[in-house]
Structure 1
Amino acid sequence: MNDSYGLNDYSFDEFLEQRKKVDFYGDDTYLQKVAAHYAGRDAERLHVSLVDFSTVLSTRWAKLAEGITRAEVQPFMQHFDAYGHRIDRIVRPLEMLQLEREVFREGLFSSTTHPLESYTKRLLLNELGDVGLNCPIACTDGLVTLLRSYATVDSPELMQILKHASDGIDGEFAIGAQFMSERQGGSDIPANVLEAVPDGRVYRLYGNKFFCSVTHADYAVVTARVSGTSKISVFVVPTWLPGDKEKERRNGHVVNRLKSKLGTRELPTAEIDYHGAVAYPVGEQGKGVSIAVAMVLTKSRLDIGGASAAYMLRAFREANLYANFYANFRTVFGKRIVDYPLAARQLRELRLVAERTTAGALDVFHHYQSASAQGSDEALRRRVFQSRELVLMQKITAAQDAVDAIRKAISLYGGHGIMEDFSCLPRLLRDAMINELWEGPKNLLLTQIYRDLHRVSSWYSATQFAFDILQGLDEGRIRSYACELETLLAEPLTEAPSDHLLDVAEEFEKLCMGMFRARQELARCRVEG
């Protein structure tokens, strides 16, 4: 009998070997070009730093990230120790603890790390596809930004927390979180009912937060209603008071349960009850909504832009490797996958949207940084407003485009595309869908843009706004966008729905996303020179 009878000699080995050799930054000439464009005179220094960073990221950290995604090592709760003490320990895999410790020791938010270097490194980290790492990084970014604006010598606890999160203490770096969602809704911060009761220099929190991601964090930015008032304030709440972390004695709160989610499964997300937790006030009392949005949510939305670009870059690379290496052996109807125009077109579309989104992400980040300058002149006032709206438009557009791009990459894989242990694509798809909702779903952010443009109309017209953010585009095209924007803003999109207003809402969504994609394409053209 022939021993080879029925054997299949197809092999994935060449594809796997090529995948192992990939250097996320070193092999991505387009990302190098974008980073150099925005770094300007610091391009060479940034390049050297990213080369070193990517060497570790593409090997050791990528291997650790693969181990974390296994279903059998997902986070779980241990509410009590062996002696009946309530500890609410969140058990996570060793690979996650190692990866987290090594990445945070890079000092991404150190006072010595340039913001562009930090942002570009975080974009690369998102290519790992491990939101259990990258969501804590994004939340820590918000915590550091908040404290750099409000921590003073009069609040030594906040100064210590800032040092712990930005530059580390004895080589250990703190992790931040943000707990704002309650049962009545995640995005409606003014409706928070968690109560903050004054207790000398600090406050005590009482009540529930319903959706708390990065539950393992050292500190959380929490919104709450100050007792006896009708307005929201912002607080920083330590998970453990000094000396209590080792004893697993939490600061006046219990973790009810971990949430079961569609995506971001490596990230602990919980429901928390506060029973008198010590909380440190941040900023002016009653200004919590504006502080939370300006300092915390804006940074998270910026990070979603970078994450979306990273997901697309990874999805294109995975699809391109599959099509060009595995498909060299596997043929369909006698030809390689990439030899069919319909498949080749999908690859081209993946590449172009990834490049457009990457250039756009660095463009919006650069605009955000320039709008953070000090001053009160009219030009800066407009630039700050532009930055706010561009962040919202990017979050809406890039998050949706990422889902579509990853779905396209999966289709190029065929049946292999839905296998959880074959590639990162199924995980990226689920996590990208979470990014569509995280920090506000599309309908809410579009409503915010509509309200914002009405709010500033007395000193900044929608027409001028369109010309400012699309400078460099054909003037006739800008004028067309501006005219349509003015027309749609004249409609009462915050009133009760009607058939007419539903059509208007659809057009407003298309317009906002179309304008932002035009902005992304402008950024891509500038990078290409």
Structure 2
Amino acid sequence: MSSTTAAPAKAAHSLGDPPPATPQTAALRPAPVGRTHTVKNQPPERTEVNEYLTFQVLREAVETFGAGWADAELTATGQHVGTAEFQEDARLANAETPELVSFDHRGNRIDEVRFHPSYHRVIGAAVAAGAHTSAWSAPRPGAHVARAATFSLFAQIEPGHACPISMTHAVVPALQHQPELAEKWLPRLFGTGYDGTLRAPGEKPGVLMGMAMTEKQGGSDVRVNETVARRVEGGALLTGHKWFCSAPMSDAFLVLAREENDPEGRISCFFVPRVLEDGTRNEFRVQRLKNKLGNKSNASSEIELDGTVAFPVGEAGRGVRTIIEMVARTRLDCVIGTAAGMRQAAAEALWHVRHRKAFGRTLIDQPAMTNVVADLALESEASTLLAMRLAAAHEDDASAQEQSFRRLATAVAKYRVCKRGPGHAYEAMECLGGNGYTEDFPLAMRYREQPVSAIWEGSGNVIALDVLRALTREPESIAAFDAELALAAGADPRYDALRARVQRELAEIAGATPDVAQAGARRLVGTMGIALQAGLMLRYAPSASAEAFIGSRLGEDRGIDYGVLPAGTDHEAILARH
């Protein structure tokens, strides 16, 4: 080739090189990495907040209902559950769910439920604070209110562990029917140490309780239970299948079973230890864990009993009446737990809207949002007041009238408050927008959690029918209930009209046929529930809160959704308490 021959033209650019910049493309070069990751307009983490001191409604209720002496202990609990560490444990306990381990590595059946360490830290803290049995172990005026407030603070952050905590509290009156069991087991139940392993109960620093009532063929109709109890010297042996056993890693359970040799096949109540006194594991086969919508940190299960050692509790053939005392206390905790969930939902929504800006203003300053969060706060306030009032009615020194009141009011409150829980959680979630719908924030967990209290220990129809039974069998409860409503009489004509409606509907139900009464039971119970809340708001809440609650729930222009408070509502005064 001649040296003067032209070389081949060079390619405009190689495959691996960017094209040369031109005036038209120079501005399209990638920007420096990281410029899009500056976080703006996001609320800070809601941690290191004292959940007791920042909730004026609860603090006032504790004082009002006789437990002001517990203020220091509740302040310490409020500080603990508000820490970042406790909140992270709550998150992990729900994310890392319980696991059933049926066999060990050598093939021995062990039927163990294993939890993430975070769950053990949460429940251990609740036990140490006396959220389970402090009302019984250290009785004094206001003890049940103080215990209810402690329970509420823990349940506000992590609700699943509250199931065995509640059952441990609720079992005490039932066990007192059996002195020999009470003498041995009550000191264990009163312990403030926690050990989640399966070992001899006498070797543990404290024990927890579960329960197993329902079976697959009957559900709430426990009188058709097929589990059989064969009486033997010193106790009984149980054989059967329980469709729902709550908290199967507990140390003992109350179980319903049919008497084998009773010609009428009556149901009795039995105490079933998970591990016997000598360390032998009782015959207690955990068949599977329930895959629940919520309540993820807590294990619920199906169990098989096959010659399982048990001890009678209460009178033979009167098992439902015996265990109903436990059920009444757990129903109370359903109300307290739902109110605690409402507090979490309202607090998280308020935290978000007080820090987040949109359309040029902080969300809390925009009337549409102010109306919503104030309404959520009112629902939380009314439910918290009702929960603490009920706890006061369960005090050891409660008068005969108080006991009649709580018989009816506990069921009514469970219907009203627990049915309001899921919708309240949803509305709070919506305040956070897309963030609220993710599992990175606690309101998704709370939304899934709230229905369990409405279903557990009696769904809506079961509760409504129980109210009808109480009206028939314990007519003195009607007078006690009306006496409670009368305490707010004259404070507001809308409330007085509601009380008159309750009286009228009670009279109509009393004269109705059973089918007609049953068809109207839910309407009656719902009306009674809102009347209880309205009366308490008029008596104990500031005028701005009471007026907004009455107007939005009873007024002529009331709406069906949250965020439709009456014109002239003092939002600032309402929210100052939340």
- TM-score range with shorter-chain normalisation? 0.7 to 0.9
Show the counterpart of 1:188. 221
Show the counterpart of 1:275. 306
Q: Measure, in 1, the Cα distance between the counterparts of 2:184 and 2:34.
A: 70
Do 2:43 and 2:352's aligned partners in 1 also have CA atoms closer than 8 Å?
A: no
Show the counterpart of 2:450. 432
Show the counterpart of 1:377. none
Question: What is the deviation of 1:64?
Answer: 1.9
Show the counterpart of 2:99. 76
CA-to-aligned-CA distance 1:341-373 (integer Å, 9 cap, x gap): 121101000111111111111111112226745
Question: What is the deviation of 1:461?
Answer: 8.6
Q: Measure, in 1, the Cα distance between the counterparts of 2:293 and 2:183.
A: 37
The answer on 1:303 being equivalent to 2:315 is no
The answer on 1:141 being equivalent to 2:165 is no
Name which of 348, 354, 364 aligns with 2:390.
364
Q: Measure, in 1, the Cα distance between the counterparts of 2:204 and 2:54.
A: 32
Q: Measure, in 2, the Cα distance between the counterparts of 1:61 and 1:107.
A: 17
Q: Check 1:306–1:67 CA distance in 2 against 1; reply closer, same or farther (3 A cut).
A: same
Q: Measure, in 1, the Cα distance between the counterparts of 2:538 and 2:272.
A: 42
The answer on 1:164 being equivalent to 2:188 is yes
Percent identity reads 23
Q: Check 1:12–1:213 CA distance in 2 against 1; reply closer, same or farther (3 A cut).
A: farther
Q: Measure, in 2, the Cα distance between the counterparts of 1:175 and 1:102.
A: 14
Q: Check 1:413–1:454 CA distance in 2 against 1; reply closer, same or farther (3 A cut).
A: same
Show the counterpart of 1:220. 253
Q: Find the residue that maps to 2:515 and give its secondary structure.
A: coil
The answer on 1:48 being equivalent to 2:69 is no
Show the counterpart of 1:289. 320
Show the counterpart of 2:111. 88
Question: What is the deviation of 1:56?
Answer: 2.1
Show the counterpart of 2:549. none
Question: What is the deviation of 1:268?
Answer: 0.8
Do 1:467 and 1:479's aligned partners in 2 also have CA atoms closer than 8 Å?
A: no
Show the counterpart of 1:28. 55
| RMSD (CA atoms) | 2.5
Task: Output aligned runs, 1:102-251, within 5 Å.
Answer: 102-108=125-131, 109-110=133-134, 111-112=137-138, 114-131=143-160, 133-147=161-175, 149-152=176-179, 155=180, 157-167=181-191, 172-229=205-262, 230-244=265-279, 250-251=281-282
Q: Find the residue that maps to 1:21 and give its secondary structure.
A: coil
Show the counterpart of 2:343. 313
Do 1:183 and 1:209's aligned partners in 2 also have CA atoms closer than 8 Å?
A: yes
Letter in 1 for 2:233: G
Show the counterpart of 2:506. 485
Q: Check 1:55–1:507 CA distance in 2 against 1; reply closer, same or farther (3 A cut).
A: closer
Letter in 1 for 2:65: Y
Task: Output aligned runs, 1:315-464, within 5 Å.
Answer: 315-325=345-355, 327=356, 330-331=357-358, 333-369=359-395, 372=398, 380=400, 382-421=401-440, 423-457=441-475, 460=476, 462=478, 464=479
Question: What is the deviation of 1:26?
Answer: 2.0
Letter in 2 for 1:136: P
Unaligned ranges ≥5, structure 2: 1-28, 193-201, 491-495, 547-578
Letter in 2 for 1:81: D
Normalised to the residue count of structure 2, the TM-score between the two structures is 0.80
Letter in 2 for 1:49: E
Q: Find the residue that maps to 1:210 and give its secondary structure.
A: strand
Do 1:181 and 1:211's aligned partners in 2 also have CA atoms closer than 8 Å?
A: yes
Question: What is the deviation of 1:338?
Answer: 2.0
Question: What is the deviation of 1:121?
Answer: 0.5
Name which of 481, 488, 495 aligns with 1:473.
488
Question: What is the deviation of 1:20?
Answer: 1.3
Structure with higher Rg: it is 2
Q: Measure, in 1, the Cα distance between the counterparts of 2:337 and 2:91.
A: 18
Do 1:129 and 1:427's aligned partners in 2 also have CA atoms closer than 8 Å?
A: no
Question: What is the deviation of 1:239?
Answer: 0.6
Q: Measure, in 1, the Cα distance between the counterparts of 2:369 and 2:422.
A: 18
Do 1:371 and 1:383's aligned partners in 2 also have CA atoms closer than 8 Å?
A: no
Q: Measure, in 1, the Cα distance between the counterparts of 2:534 and 2:43.
A: 39
Q: Measure, in 2, the Cα distance between the counterparts of 1:227 and 1:171.
A: 34
Do 1:214 and 1:268's aligned partners in 2 also have CA atoms closer than 8 Å?
A: yes
Show the counterpart of 1:376. none
Q: Check 1:522–1:350 CA distance in 2 against 1; reply closer, same or farther (3 A cut).
A: same
Question: What is the deviation of 1:135?
Answer: 0.7
Question: How many residues are aligned here?
Answer: 492
Do 1:371 and 1:387's aligned partners in 2 also have CA atoms closer than 8 Å?
A: no
Unaligned ranges ≥5, structure 1: 374-379
The answer on 1:62 being equivalent to 2:87 is yes
Q: Check 1:506–1:52 CA distance in 2 against 1; reply closer, same or farther (3 A cut).
A: closer
Q: Find the residue that maps to 1:56 and give its secondary structure.
A: helix
Show the counterpart of 2:566. none
Letter in 2 for 1:138: S
CA-to-aligned-CA distance 1:467-495 (integer Å, 9 cap, x gap): 31302233643333212321233232436
Question: What is the deviation of 1:37?
Answer: 1.3
Q: Find the residue that maps to 1:286 and give its secondary structure.
A: coil
Q: Measure, in 2, the Cα distance between the counterparts of 1:336 and 1:299.
A: 43
Show the counterpart of 2:530. 514
CA-to-aligned-CA distance 1:32-83 (integer Å, 9 cap, x gap): 11111112xx52x31111112222222243332222122xx21111111111
Bigger Cα displacement from structure 2, 316-325 vs 99-108: 99-108
Q: Check 1:84–1:5 CA distance in 2 against 1; reply closer, same or farther (3 A cut).
A: closer
Q: Check 1:486–1:266 CA distance in 2 against 1; reply closer, same or farther (3 A cut).
A: same
Normalised to the residue count of structure 1, the TM-score between the two structures is 0.87
Q: Check 1:142–1:12 CA distance in 2 against 1; reply closer, same or farther (3 A cut).
A: farther
Q: Find the residue that maps to 1:174 and give its secondary structure.
A: coil
Q: Check 1:151–1:107 CA distance in 2 against 1; reply closer, same or farther (3 A cut).
A: farther
Q: Measure, in 2, the Cα distance between the counterparts of 1:302 and 1:6.
A: 53
Do 2:502 and 2:528's aligned partners in 1 also have CA atoms closer than 8 Å?
A: no
Q: Measure, in 2, the Cα distance between the counterparts of 1:287 and 1:9.
A: 66
Letter in 1 for 2:467: I
Q: Measure, in 2, the Cα distance between the counterparts of 1:242 and 1:309.
A: 39
Show the counterpart of 2:15. none
Letter in 1 for 2:349: A
